[in-house]
Amino acid sequence: MPLSPADITPGLVLQLDTTLLRARGDSQTNAELGAAGDRAVTGPSDFLVVGVDRTTGVCTAVPLFPKAAVGNQPLDDEHKRGGDAAWRQTTTFFSRWQHWRIPADSLIAAADTDDAARTDRRQYAPGDGPTLDDIRAWESRNRAPYRSA
């Protein structure tokens, strides 16, 4: 089922095409960009929406990873909802040092291949503001400023 703006809520987990986000040119990331290269995720990647500004229509999201790495923190499996059993039972990490600001229209376009039913979309801690705020709080501790993705 296609994603609508009303479906975009904190806790939503979607696979986004970052190539499309970059082509649209309206998303930003605070992933480190330095001599070693651009640390922003590329290609299709899972993202957890941790904030939605209804006034501006901009979502804040963090990429998710299947493996531990420096700067990644595991999600608590107890907070996972929807999707298949693999999502709920597989260890998943979020990047503390990479946030993305994505306009809702771009998020919808980049999630075009996500055809999960509204009632079965992957979610993490839906309705649990404190848990999602703990993840989003890393945004203010990031060393890198936001820039075009």
- Over residues 7-38, the pLDDT tens digits come to 999 999 999 999 999 999 999 999 988 787 78
pTM over 0.75: yes
Counted domains in the chain:
1
What's the domain range around 99?
5-148
pLDDT for 15 equals 93
* Sequence-ordered strand ranges (E) for the chain: 13-17, 28-29, 33-34, 37-38, 44-53, 58-65, 72-74, 80-81, 93-95, 100-103, 123-124, 147-148
Domain containing 124 — which CATH number? Answer: 3.10.129
- Over residues 79-135, the pLDDT tens digits come to 999 988 889 999 999 999 999 999 999 999 999 776 677 778 999 999 999 999 999
